[in-house]
Structure 1
Amino acid sequence: MMTERYIKLGGQIALISFLLGTLIFGLFFITSAFEILFFAYGFIALTSLINLGALISILLKAHKDKDNRIKLFTTCGLMLLNIPIMLLYCSITIILLNTMRITFTNSTQITLTNINIVGCGGGYIDKLENGESKTVWIDITGDCSIDINYLSNGQKKEELVASYVSNSMGQKMKHNVGGQNEE
């Protein structure tokens, strides 16, 4: 195979790996679907093997082709850039797995105030107008439940948001304050 084909193949493998990895990470970030994680693990394993095979092939070509060695090493460096990107995506995923991202929506006809999120890492929302939504990121600190208490027309009310949350159970969810909810 000619040197240009090695360089082109290495660049294509690096670009496709980056784009597909970013797509998978983006889908998980948006949905928090655990099924995507299983797919991601398989993708990382398969892509690692493909990239390693291409990298070794390009390095062997660089050893033989002294005239184009710099171009071939540059291609290897481009391929290796996917490693820190993958590690960044994995570390963000671990953070997401240990975080509840809850969107609280005021489903009542009045303004709710002093919304205190109790349990896990807790949180606070000063007020929610009728129909207004706010998303709170809550650290999962171990086995815990998440409740809220708030003031509605000066009366203190309480609601269960999540009865059981534990490490690696992070997800996105919606909670209608003062309304019907599914856990």
Structure 2
Amino acid sequence: MYSISNIGRAVAILSFIIGTTLFSFFLYFGETFIPIGVGLGFIGVAITVNAILLVSNLIASLIYETDRYENLKTCGIILMNIPIAILYFYIIISLNDIRL
């Protein structure tokens, strides 16, 4: 059976891979291939799922003392997606300002 820590890591890595793929497609093909709405929809789903897993890991770290370190490491992995998403968003906004 999978622990909440393993699920959190897998979802955080999957969110990073999907987000980076969408970002790369946008940079390479432009808005004609990947509309902005697809990216914003993904961000909404990713924020919701990752927030639920973050809270679940925090609660699990309080309840299960033996797995506390693993759960807190998973929280760190989940939180690392935030600055990356902000950077991608900033780059896309900057590129759209240049293209106008």
- Whether TM exceeds 0.5 here: the answer is yes
- Which structure has greater strand proportion? 1
Higher RCO, 1 vs 2 (CA within 8 Å, ≥6 residues apart): 2
Residue in 2 aligned with 1:21? 19
* CA-based RMSD: 1.5
Contact 1:24 1:36 in 2 (8 A): no
Residue in 1 aligned with 2:74? 75
What residue ranges of structure 1 are gaps of 5+ in the alignment? 101-168, 170-183
CA shift, 1:28, in A, is 0.7
- Mapped to 1, the partners of 2:66 and 2:26 lie a distance apart of 44
Residue in 1 aligned with 2:83? 84
What residue ranges of structure 2 are gaps of 5+ in the alignment? none
Q: Counterpart of 1:33 in 2: which secondary structure? A: coil
Residue in 2 aligned with 1:120? none
- Which structure has greater helix proportion? 2
CA shift, 1:36, in A, is 2.3
Residue in 1 aligned with 2:54? 55
**One-letter amino acid of the structure 2 residue matched with residue 43 of structure 1:** F
Q: TM-score, normalised by structure 1?
A: 0.51
Contact 1:7 1:71 in 2 (8 A): yes
Q: Indicate the structure (1 or 2) with the bigger Cα radius of gyration.
A: 1
Q: TM-score, normalised by structure 2?
A: 0.92
Count residues with an aligned counterpart.
Answer: 99
- Mapped to 2, the partners of 1:11 and 1:68 lie a distance apart of 14
CA shift, 1:26, in A, is 0.5
| 1:169-180 paired onto structure 2 within 5 Å | 169=100
Residue in 2 aligned with 1:46? 45
Deviations 1:63-118 (A, max 9, x none): 10112111110000001000000000000001110123xxxxxxxxxxxxxxxxxx
Identity percentage over the alignment?
Answer: 30
1:32 aligns with 2:2: no
- Mapped to 2, the partners of 1:91 and 1:78 lie a distance apart of 21
- Mapped to 1, the partners of 2:43 and 2:55 lie a distance apart of 18
Contact 1:62 1:73 in 2 (8 A): yes
